[in-house]
Structure 1
Amino acid sequence: MRKALVIASSLLLVAFALQFVFAAVGAFAKPAGGDGDYALHSITGMAVIPALTVLTTVLALLSRAPGRVVGLAILPLGVVLLQVLLAALANGLTDDAGASTPVALIIGGLHAVNGIVAVHFVVALVRAARKLAAPAPVALEPA
């Protein structure tokens, strides 16, 4: 079960890394087509990452992982909720012409910073899962 936790948490880390790629795809799409440019980013953030987070949390519980590891496993779900809130605020704070305001741009920047923080949490989870799955050292008897 602990090896499965390592695999699932590693897949979660890959999903978060891909989020940055998918955000760049949306940002650099020419001609800009609107929300469709961010479809992969949205699907990964709204479906893949939450599903992997639930899976890692269940595996951490089944592995009888310490509370810290279980906390690290569930934490990405909270980060995703904050991401959705930040994106909605950034998109909602436009001027009358629909252009971004300085406040919207700052909140949009916080969306990116929150993503970076999330990656650090998942890296800590992967490290903790690997440590948990590592075989216990064998004590040698003196000769």
Structure 2
Amino acid sequence: MKAVIQRVSEASVTIEHQKVADIKTGLLILVGIEDADSEEDIKWLSSKIINLRIFNDEQGIMNVSVKEAGGDIILVSQFTLHAAVKKGNRPSYIKASKPDMAIPVYEKLIKQLQYDLGKLIQTGSFGADMKVQLLNDGPVTIIIDTKNKE
């Protein structure tokens, strides 16, 4: 599983001119799922996201997690995170899971994040054409691949 985590002062997701997710302070997370992703990957990634100390404390030092900051999360599925671009100029998405495999993993990640954060996780809609808007705060952007845990 690959995740792009962005600290935001605001973010939203719109589908067919309808805003489906909208937050102020928090994280906008893009997640790409592959067939090898497991329950262990879900738990590890959720814990890592919730406990990342990337929000500023009173001294302006990144030392506070999204949970401690009282922030919100938008989680958006994005198979293009698994694009392979070694050969040619047209990306290959062979490593990205097909919807029948990816949707259950995505739904489990949502539930795990909700459990770990203790509040509702807003989302886009799996497979939809989404317009994602954000104001990256910092900018702070962290990339995590669960296959590189060590």
Same fold, judged at TM 0.5 (above): no
Larger relative contact order, structure 1 or 2 (CA cutoff 8 Å, min sep 6): 2
Structure showing greater radius of gyration is 1
For this structure pair, what is the TM-score category when the shorter chain's length is used for normalisation?
Answer: under 0.3
> Which one has the bigger helix percentage?
1
TM-score under structure 2 length normalisation: 0.27
TM-score (norm 1): 0.28
